[in-house]
A and B are shown apart, each in its own frame.
Chain A
Amino acid sequence: MGYVAVTGGKEAISASLEHLAYERVKDGKLIEVDALRSTMRGFIDQVMSESSLYSEQLAALAMKQSEGNIEEAVFLLRAHRSTLPRLYYSTVTNPREMFVQRRISASFKDIPGGQILGSSPDYLHRLLDFSLLEETQADILNKKFEFETTEVPEESSLPLEKLPKVMDYLRSEGLIHDFPLNNTEPDDVTKENLTFPSSRSERLQILTRGQTGAINALGYAGLRGYGSSHPNVGEVRVGYQPIHVGLDSDEGDEAYYIGSIKLTEVESFIPMNVNVDGKEVLEFDIGYGACFGQNETKAIAMSVLDHALENPENTPIHDDEFVLLHVDTVESTGFISHLKLPHYVTFQSKLEQVRKIKRGGGVNE
């Protein structure tokens, strides 16, 4: 038996597709896209971040269509993204202008502007809430009403739109280097093939759209000893980042506000031994992480990897080829999934080799 032709596949495949379509409706339940959008924040933020397409509605649609399968949802959104025309580019946006909803520092207790806990699952007691099994629409409206009728101050005493950065404090003490602004046009990993050594803009783009689990795993490995970037979280901020587009140069430098995106930004402080005038001095370096939505673990892991890749060493976590080529959702799931495609011929040839060896001959007999 040398070769098995693939026959009858077409009908089998269309039957399989029907089966899949049936799975989604077989219990006769409806979930509206809008309900997913407003109740599945975590899923939507993760999917928007990994697909690098900021649309809560489309992420919710992808969730519905893929029955909640994240890798499928990301694939759908990446595919959709590739069909969209690029009409404008946004101007540079500065997270110092973020409308902050949450901002914490693990490095200093008393930070200028204060620790703002915002909303986070961090402080939860992780027990299943069985009352949600019985929750009704009326319960939801009651809870909503209760929250919304609670007395709160009209205005915040904090400058939420111009919150100072924790990093500025260290910088003012001369513990962090000042770096000149780097205004080179970023490379676009969605348009050009990645080549090595990679540029910082390429690294940050690939990390921010990387698979959450993969980024977390590699960041964790880096912390546990497969890297030498052990950070202190200087600042995690989550909030709404205003985005502007600039119109053509003939019309001046006017930029128009087009909306805000939810963003997580992390600046990690990483102690480094620096050689100053022949003496080893301890200073702090910065690792940077940022991603769409509220994905704090991912952004922190990204900051570890950003710093590790800025400082190449002889471990996988400090190797840009190792990290960047393996963290993308579509690339990794795509390559692994392709193993399910017919490999009958390749396998037959391997089998033939093994049989020959068992018969006592060499491979290249």
Chain B
Amino acid sequence: MDEHLTQDTFRKILEAMTFPGKLVQLEQSLIEVEPLYSQTVLLCHTLLDSEVTFAVVENTKISQSLHAYTGSHAVKMEEADFVIIPQNDAITVFSELNHVKIGDLRDPQKSATLFIEVDSLTDGKQFELSGPGIKNTTVIQSNLPSEFLEMRGMLNKEYPLGIDTLFIDSEGLVLALPRTTNVMEVKEEWAM
């Protein structure tokens, strides 16, 4: 894997994490791991190595390929530093997330970062984001599953403990929801 590509990707992840809700376009990965999105594979190449662990929800084949490409070891979800949720699994698996690492008070950084594949980050329901990195509020449009947002709310309730999330859509756009970001679904208002 090209080092400059992953360095460039790292800067972009940093940009997305710094400004939650900002859409960042990633390049194509040089290696594909079906059925993951190309950009999810690129995220894995950038952030996974033998010093960290990962779990792919219900897919051992992806785990084997990612281990072979990155040197990172696949472990149980409750021990993983990175949890990868491929697009097709998205709705059903969120209930399993209640055991992911959220860190402890002395080491809140020892928590999981989630990569979640979604259909679209430009189309769907509206969500209003607020928190550090966002001036006032910002609105995103996506089909983020409400099951996930509920689970996230539960995992993040005791700051600084919690999880950080990166969403990747089929166009290769990335959006970050660090644990500090508040998410509110915008209820449709009827014009009177």
Contacts and interface: CB of A to CB of B under 8 A. Distances in A.
Interface of A: 85-88, 191
8 contacts: A85-B49, A86-B49, A86-B50, A86-B51, A87-B50, A87-B71, A88-B50, A191-B51
Contacts of A88: 50
A86 B50 CA distance: 7
Nearest to A193: B107
B134 to A, nearest CB: 30
A245 to B, nearest CB: 12
A181 B144 CA distance: 53
Chain B contact-residue range equals under 10
Contacts of B71: 87
A interface SS class: loop
A6 B166 CA distance: 40
B interface SS class: loop
A159 B44 CA distance: 50
Contacts, number: 8
A85 B1 CA distance: 13
Interface string B47-86: 0011100000000000000000001000000000000000
A191 B107 CA distance: 13
Interface string B19-50: 00000000000000000000000000000011
Nearest to A85: B49
Contacts of A85: 49
Contacts of B50: 86-88
A146 B71 CA distance: 51
A280 B50 CA distance: 51
Contacts of B51: 86, 191
A136 to B, nearest CB: 44
A85 B50 CA distance: 9
What 7 A-B pairs have minimum CB-CB distances, sorted nearest first?
A86-B51, A85-B49, A86-B50, A87-B50, A87-B71, A86-B49, A191-B51
A43 to B, nearest CB: 31
A85 B72 CA distance: 12
A191 B49 CA distance: 14
A87 B72 CA distance: 10
B50 to A, nearest CB: 6
B111 to A, nearest CB: 15
A188 B50 CA distance: 15
A87 B49 CA distance: 8
Contacts of A87: 50, 71
Given A86-B49, A87-B71, A191-B51, 5 more contacts: A85-B49, A86-B50, A86-B51, A87-B50, A88-B50
Contacts of A191: 51
Nearest to B50: A86
Contacts of A86: 49-51
A86 B51 CA distance: 7
Nearest to A89: B50
A362 to B, nearest CB: 39
A88 B50 CA distance: 8
